[in-house]
Amino acid sequence: MFEYAPAPESREIVDIKPSYGLFIGGEWVDSQGENHHKTINPASEEVLAEVAWATEADVDRAVRAARAAFTTWSALPGSERAKYIFRIARIIQERSRELAVLETLDNGKPIRESRDVDLPLVAAHFFYYAGWADKLRYAGFGRRTTDGHSGEDPRPLGVAGQVIPWNFPLLMLAWKIAPALACGNTVVLKPAETTPLTALAFADICRQADLPPGVVNIVTGAGETGAALVNHPGVDKVAFTGSTEVGRMIARSVAGTGKRLSLELGGKAANIVFEDAPLDQAVEGIVNGIFFNQGHVCCAGSRLLVQESVADEVLDALKRRLSTLRLGDPMDKNTDIGAINSAAQLAKIRELAEAGVNEGAERWSPACPIPERGFWFPPTVFTGVAQSHRIAREEIFGPVLSVLTFRTPAEAVEKANNTPYGLSAGIWTEKGSRILWMADRLRAGVVWANTFNRFDPTSPFGGYKESGYGREGGRHGLEAYLAV
Amino acid sequence: MSERLAVRKTYKLFIGGAFPRSESGRSYAVTSSKGDFLANAAKASRKDARDAVAAARKAFPGWSSATPYNRGQILYRVAEMLEGRRAQFVAEVVDADGVTAKKAGELVDAAVDRLVWYAGWSDKIGAIRGAANPVAGPYFNLSTVEPTGVVAVVAPPTGPLLGLVSVIAPVIVTGNTCVVVASERAPLPSITLAEVLATSDLPGGVVNILTGSAGEIAPWLAGHMDVNAVDLTGADADVAVRCEELAAENLKRVLRPPLDRIDWLADPGTDRMTAFLETKTVWHPIGV
């Protein structure tokens, strides 16, 4: 293996303030509470900034601001709303390098990924939904059950309370805010407690775009802030991306309120490799499936199902490939695997990996120097995994792959579907009819065939079963923000 | 000569294509809208509800993978069988609802027409709900709809035939299977409808019908971990909230009770179908 010279991205481009307030009604305001929290760089444990943890009173203020803004925002011609959202998309492109660096500093993901994947998708998502804002009557939702009339523009829902995770902080913000605004809703968004900085930078982008005050409000905080937002009676729509456990709590608390709800939750995707697959490509797909973004991906291909006849060959190639992955400084442009986002997440990954060993699976990692400071976990492969093992059933949300084998396509389907989740799946084979046969039978919302972890604003994303409900992206994504 | 004594029908449950009594042995008296005794209906137990879910689950792979053309034909066949029993249903609707025979006739006709309408949707809903998505890259990207799975349906308390048909047809036409909690007050037409379903080439277990206390049965189904969705159209407000809470445990899709009284004679729209559909998006690279 070649030695690489360090190629660090400069952090000069970002200007992080020592402390941040809340973005409510178009202004930076101080929290009414005393609770502040330091957000750190998970690769160095260096403190980046201090942010407020919004209280119930702060959330109430934000929801009121959103409600006040809703009247005028929803009454704007769609073409005017579209122009605001196009402006936002443009500013994101203009400030894309800065946002990528900020994302990597706060999240720990490699700069190569935030620069080449997250930020382009963020801008594309705003561009895509901007174009819908004045075309909603053509989206096919016009005909109403209650009155039987057609032709009316579908109406927005009102104030959307949105709670997003830390794995793709700005991208998840885009997935939530872009369709909500295009449909004429106003939003209060709570970023994850460990990754608030790009959402706060987004607040500044809203100001640069002259977005009317109160249309977008950002309240930082942890679970309590999120609960205050979800349970606020002034919220008409709740959108959540995160764990199935929290999704359940939210579904329960929304019961009986009439609030609309969309949930994008956990996954335990099977990535299925048949003996006739293009194995070199499949190995790249396996690596991309589970080690992209340190495995902090709800649709990660965390269960590799490989046909028995090629299991040894695939595993040898996979191990060779993993030995060339570079783990370390996320700001280095050559880094493949960055830092685990938080100490808490690292502890969870360690616990599940230990459970894998204790339950009898065989653990393997490449020789991989681990930096002294920060939160790190080496790429890890478990073989000899049984379906009953925790590492085959529970979402690890880390760079840990569980390998199982199968003999027949029917067995592959049986094993792939043997999970309460149903977010995504992968199929690797050169046989077209088999791809379609498999895709038909896999109970998952996204199926990648001979590829993995592809995303696009035009492509609906979301799960079956306990992976949640509703779709984000595409025409389907509008439905979550319209009174249809 | 004395008038001939009628042979009365025993009303039982409809589970897996068969007509069992409640395993609990329970029954309850059903009266007409005027208060006259009509029959004893089975009062389904929790075990009956579980058996019905098991039957619906067993029927799901076959029914969901039947061609839409085939499902449409079977729904049309249900309409044919219903039409043939028109007089029987008119009499039952008059008893249950206290409406005139003329009005009952309109309602039965509307139920037949509703089945025909939904039958035609089987091979069209995918065309209006699916999409070929123009992604920014060399990928073929297609979204299609699939049935959610086993749906528990709380049928409306009024509209013992038209309301019932209007909640069952949209659920099964797309390939779901269901367990229906019939109107508690007027359950008899639901069991007669089961006789229609049983003779319409509909595979056993696609529709299962339970009579009894909706307040008892609905929460059992809403909390059942092998049910994928609940339609609470006919649930009382407090039962509906309880069911929605229970449904959260395995993230069931929930169709909440309507805010206003539903006009079952109006155009139903597609909402009752789309509430129980999942969107699957398949990607494949394009290359040579």
Q: Which domains are assigned to chain A? A: 19-265+464-481 (3.40.605.10), 270-449 (3.40.309.10)
A460 vs B133: CB contact, 8 Å cut-off? yes
Average pLDDT, chain B: 97
Looking at residue B283, what is its pLDDT?
98
Give, in degrees to the nearest 5, the angle at Cα B56 between B55 and B57: 90
Domain ranges of chain B: 43-285
Binned at pLDDT 50, 70 and 90, residue B2 comes out as confident
**Tell me, what amino acid is at A388?**
S
Cα–Cα distance for residue pair A188/A312, rounded to 1 Å: 51
Architecture of domain B43-285: 3-Layer(aba) Sandwich (3.40)
Find, among A120, A59, A90, the residue nearest to A205 by Cα.
A90
* Nearest by CB: B135 against A148, A456, A471: A456
Rounded to whole angstroms, the Cα distance separating B133 from A475 reads 9
Residue B14 has pLDDT above 50, yes or no: yes
Cβ distance B139 to A439 less than 8 Å, yes or no, reads no
Cβ distance of B248 and A252 shorter than 8 Å: yes
Whether B134 has its CB under 8 Å from any CB of chain A: the answer is yes
Residue A143 has a pLDDT of 54
- Average of pLDDT values for B28-38? 95
A465 Cβ under 8 Å from any chain B Cβ: yes
**3-class SS at B30?**
strand
| Burial (CB count <10 Å: 0-12, 13-18, 19+), residue B87 | exposed
**DSSP run (H or E) holding B106:** helix B101-121
Look at residue A140 in the predicted model and tell me its pLDDT.
86
pLDDT below 70 — which residues of chain A? 1, 142-151
Answer whether B201's CB lies under 8 Å from B74's CB.
Answer: yes
**pTM assigned to the model:** 0.96
ipTM reported for the complex, 2 dp = 0.95
Tell me if chain A has a CB within 8 Å of the CB of B287: no
Residue A290 sits at φ, ψ, to 5 deg, of: -115, -20
Q: State the Cα–Cα distance between residues A8 and A331, nearest whole angstrom.
A: 5
Residue ranges of A 208-247 with Cβ closer than 8 A to chain B = 244, 247
Measured between alpha carbons, how far is A306 from A312 in angstroms, rounded to an integer?
9
Q: Under 8 Å CB-to-CB from A113, ≥6 apart: which residues?
A: A292, A293, A338
pLDDT exceeding 70 applies to what percent of chain A? 97
CB contact under 8 A, B281 and A461: yes
What pLDDT does A145 receive?
46
**Residues A186, A66: contact at Cβ < 8 Å?**
yes
pLDDT digits (tens, 9 = 90+) for B177-198: 999 999 999 999 999 999 999 9
